[in-house]
Amino acid sequence: MEPVKNITYVTMSAISRMKNFGYTTSDYEWIEQLAIEFYQEKLRGYEMPSVVVDYVTVNANTRIWPMPSDFIRYTKVGYKIGNRVWTLGIDNTIALSTGPEICNDIQTAESGAIGSGFWIAEGFYNGTYYGPLYTAGGGFNINYYRVNEAERYIQFVEALPTGQAVVEYLSSGRNVNGGTLVPVAYVEAFRNYLIWQMCELKPEIVSMAKDKERQYKDTLWDANILVKGPTMDEAMDTIYAACGFNIR
């Protein structure tokens, strides 16, 4: 499957192409910040959706995860106990009530019995990068959640074990982050911009910056023509109309 073209993809691609000049994944965070600024300042007008992961320490009194303002819909809900994430099931019969009831008698499948599960997208939590997480299916047979669409929150079951919820959801793109999708036409220009800036900011290779700037501007020009230019059908309709033919 072809990788999703998002800010994380473009950032990692730029780092990979510059690895011979001393750049590594340890530089990811500040280069991603450059990418976010480029997206916000140069690609104004785009609000592309993104897949976002939120690591939630659930309030024991309310057991509620309020949906963020950019929330469109959730895709996966899991619960992290130790170093394993378990996929939770939905239960619309859960009472929307309050009051803590902590349960540490965790009913989980044995590790050897795990035969299926789901992947949760990568993301940052407390400044630490987490790659895609595998969530084992069928782990909690008594721990579920309920979605309240009207009030915009997810409520977890009363018998909530000590741990951390992991919620993957589709964002409207209002909050730009590593998961924000990049218009395909701009991927090359986006990567070339990062490479140009990486050359500018490293004294040993600053002499390469001028050529990288030119490459960036050339590919940005091409991307703008591709995105903003007329489609083939629109061009043909214009030609037909200019020649006095009926528009198809």
Instruction: Give residue-wise pLDDT tens across range 175-234.
Output: 777 878 888 888 999 999 999 999 999 999 999 999 999 999 999 988 888 777 655 565
- pLDDT tens readout for residues 49-95: 677 788 887 777 777 888 887 788 888 888 877 777 777 777 776 66
pLDDT at 203: 93
Beta bridge partners of 85: 80, 135
Check residues 126 and 178 and name the one with the higher pLDDT: 178
Question: Where residue 238 falls among pLDDT bands split at 50, 70, 90?
Answer: low
pTM: 0.53
Q: What pLDDT is recorded for position 182?
A: 85
Identify any residues that bridge with 166 across adjacent strands, giving them in sequence order: 55, 78
pLDDT in tens, 138-163: 444 455 788 888 888 888 876 666 67
64 exposure class (CB count in 10 Å sphere: 0-12, 13-18, 19+):
middle
The average pLDDT across 19-34 equals 93
Residue with tokens 């072809």: 2
pLDDT band at 137 (very low <50, low <70, confident <90, very high): low
Query: What's the pLDDT at 235?
Result: 57
Strands, sheet with 153-156, edge to edge from the N-terminal-most edge strand: 64-66, 153-156, 144-148, 89-90
- 106 or 163: which carries more pLDDT confidence? 163
**What is the spatial distance between Cα 51 and Cα 133, in angstroms, rounded to a whole number?**
14
> What pLDDT is recorded for position 156?
80
